[in-house]
């Protein structure tokens, strides 16, 4: 009889399912003249074309208000792609450019969608796109429901559950501003789309190091037996950013804040991957089912629980890398007297069998000293201390750190005896770095996610129940902050690691934030 733990027979031994060839299709970019399309989407598609990952027959259709011909659309992207194009750029571009097509239109005009339908039907004949469609909504969220409704009215969305040809829609965050608005948007969208046709994208899930959480936990025999409350003392999840409101982002950020911008999506997804139970296999539903179970046991807090367990902060003027930087209130687009948080620290516990009593600490902020995203699993100390205490020792409290960015990889800190006659210990580290271990470059997150949409693989995309559970947790915090008498954001100088209140929050559990 085969051993279920044997690498060759265990379905969890592979980090990712085997890929198949993507179907021929047309990718329609709504907001094709915008920043996201220029910086991320078209460059990702270009790299997929360079690597031979796109289907043999495809087209990329830009949809925006400009009255451009195809050649003008192509001319917009040639310089940007060429900056990092490599020696074979012109060769790849000569094959890629004829696949770029422009379709002028406005988001609320049904006639524009009728014209788009004619364009796509023509591409089926000239570019072999076989009637398959990806509609990527790289636009402001208030247009999501309108665009999807017009796609349905124009007959561009195929019947639900139709396997071939297919139509899929990708939407970016933010998806709602709270639980009520997120559910309302979902109700509007569901009038046109089946859940299987909707891909809610979170680019964090496309990062190789995030995907490697599953491989590390379930593809190795040493971690899963100790991945629980009996061995883990605490978990820290950090997403730190150096940037402030660069690029005129202050207007948007002042209506969102760190809780909506980072915690509700990126950090909730990282938490779910770290804390989830082993899935039965790596199919999309199996993985997402286990993630939902984690989000469903997030704490239900009263306002006083929020004030005790959550710290919000806002950066003041300070110094970063030797340069003076303005405070949040001095940033362009920020309302005078704004109480929008640029920093959040949270202490929470998960009410389930595996993690009961283990504190999870989440922190994210702008204008911190270093850009870094990581997950730290901190283990309990041994029950007795046999060795001499030594400065720099962990006291036997081992720590596993998963670095998401930069310097992608993982490290394990443990104790080793210092050479000599005394029984002294010192913390040392085993380190794994993607760049040093693999000869191939790590693909950009959008490359992986766009390919998954074309493949029809929703594993790395957020399902409705995931979205609702994350918003339920975040909305109770937002509601508490709006109450009379709620604590104002604590100030912290730009270039520091956040307000002192965040240090006090974690110190209550006799620990401290990791130095990044």
100-104 and 58-64 as β-strands: parallel, antiparallel, unpaired?
parallel
CA gap 211, 218 in Å, rounded: 12
Residues with Cβ within 8 Å of 304's Cβ and at least 6 positions away in sequence, in order, are: none
CA gap 367, 498 in Å, rounded: 9
DSSP state of 265: I
- Give the chain's radius of gyration (CA, Å): 24
CA gap 115, 104 in Å, rounded: 9
Whether the Cβ atoms of residue 238 and residue 368 lie closer than 8 Å to each other: no
Residues with Cβ within 8 Å of 21's Cβ and at least 6 positions away in sequence, in order, are: 55
Whether the Cβ atoms of residue 405 and residue 444 lie closer than 8 Å to each other: no
Residue 29 sits at φ, ψ, to 5 deg, of: -100, 105
For the stretch 460-463, contacts whose Cβ atoms lie closer than 8 Å and that sit 24 or more positions apart, written own/partner, are 460/202, 460/205, 460/206, 460/211, 461/199, 461/200, 461/201, 461/202, 461/205, 462/175, 462/200, 462/201, 462/202, 462/265, 462/269, 463/195, 463/200, 463/288, 463/292
Q: Which residue has the tokens 């409704």?
A: 149
CA gap 185, 467 in Å, rounded: 11
Residues with Cβ within 8 Å of 406's Cβ and at least 6 positions away in sequence, in order, are: 371, 372
Structure tokens at 9: 């027979």
Whether the Cβ atoms of residue 440 and residue 446 lie closer than 8 Å to each other: no
CA gap 281, 295 in Å, rounded: 20
Whether the Cβ atoms of residue 373 and residue 247 lie closer than 8 Å to each other: no
How would DSSP label each residue in 388-435? B--TT--TT--EEEEEEESS-EEEEEEEEEPSSSS-BEEEEEEEEEHH
Give Dmax over CA atoms of the chain in angstroms.
84
**Is the link from the previous residue into 174 a cis peptide, with omega within 30 of 0?**
yes
Write down the catalytic residue from 84, 118, 203, 266.
266
Q: Which residue has the tokens 């829609």?
A: 169
CA gap 43, 100 in Å, rounded: 12
Other CB atoms closer than 10 Å to residue 209's CB: what's the count? Answer: 21
Whether the Cβ atoms of residue 55 and residue 24 lie closer than 8 Å to each other: yes
3-state secondary structure at position 104: strand
Question: For this structure, is 231 an active site residue?
Answer: no
Residue 318 sits at φ, ψ, to 5 deg, of: -170, -160
Catalytic residues: 266
């Amino acid at each position: 009889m085969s051993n279920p733990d044997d690498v060759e027979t265990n379905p969890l031994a592979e980090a990712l399912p085997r890929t198949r060839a993507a179907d021929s299709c047309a990718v329609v970019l709504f907001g094709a003249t915008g920043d996201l399309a220029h910086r991320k989407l078209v460059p990702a598609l270009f790299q997929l074309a360079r690597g031979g990952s796109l289907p043999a027959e495809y087209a990329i259709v830009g949809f925006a208000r400009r009255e451009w011909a195809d050649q003008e659309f192509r001319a917009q992207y040639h310089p940007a792609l060429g900056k990092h194009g490599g020696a074979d750029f012109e060769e790849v571009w000569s094959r890629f450019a004829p696949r770029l097509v422009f379709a002028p239109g406005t988001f609320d005009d049904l006639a524009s969608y009728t014209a788009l339908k004619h364009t796509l039907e023509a591409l089926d004949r000239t570019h072999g796109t076989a009637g398959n469609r990806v509609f990527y909504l790289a636009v402001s969220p208030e247009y999501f429901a309108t665009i999807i409704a017009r796609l349905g009215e124009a007959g561009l969305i195929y019947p639900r559950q139709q396997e071939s040809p297919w139509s899929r829609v990708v939407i970016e965050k933010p998806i709602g501003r709270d639980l009520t608005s997120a559910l309302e948007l979902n109700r509007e969208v569901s009038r046109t789309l089946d859940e299987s046709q909707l891909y809610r994208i979170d680019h964090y899930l496309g990062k190789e190091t995030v995907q490697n959480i599953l491989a590390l936990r379930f593809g190795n025999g040493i971690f899963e037996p100790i991945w629980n409350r009996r061995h883990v003392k605490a978990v820290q999840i950090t997403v730190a950013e150096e940037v402030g409101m660069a690029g005129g982002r202050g207007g948007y950020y002042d209506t969102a804040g760190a809780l909506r911008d980072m915690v509700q999506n990126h950090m909730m997804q990282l938490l779910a991957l770290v804390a989830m139970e082993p899935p039965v296999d790596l199919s999309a539903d199996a993985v997402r089912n286990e993630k939902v179970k984690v989000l469903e046991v997030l704490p239900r807090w009263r306002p006083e629980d929020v004030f005790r367990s959550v710290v919000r902060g806002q950066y003041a003027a300070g110094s970063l890398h030797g340069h003076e930087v303005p405070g949040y209130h001095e940033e362009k687009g920020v309302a005078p007297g704004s109480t929008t948080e640029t920093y959040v620290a949270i202490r929470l516990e998960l009410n389930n069998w595996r993690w009961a009593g283990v504190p999870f600490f989440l922190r994210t902020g702008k204008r911190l000293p270093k850009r870094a995203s990581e997950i730290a699993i901190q283990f309990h100390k041994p029950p007795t201390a046999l060795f001499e205490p030594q400065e720099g020792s962990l006291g036997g409290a081992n720590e596993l750190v998963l670095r998401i960015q930069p310097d992608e990889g993982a490290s394990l800190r443990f104790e080793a005896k210092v050479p000599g006659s005394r029984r002294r210990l010192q913390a040392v580290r085993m380190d794994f770095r993607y760049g040093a271990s693999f000869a191939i470059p790590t693909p950009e997150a959008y490359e992986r996610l766009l390919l998954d949409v074309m493949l029809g693989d929703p594993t790395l995309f957020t399902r409705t129940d995931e979205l609702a559970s994350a918003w339920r947790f975040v909305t109770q915090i937002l509601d508490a902050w709006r109450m009379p008498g709620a604590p104002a954001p604590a100030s912290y100088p730009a270039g520091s690691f956040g307000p002192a209140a965040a240090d006090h929050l974690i110190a209550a559990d006799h620990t401290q934030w990791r130095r990044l």
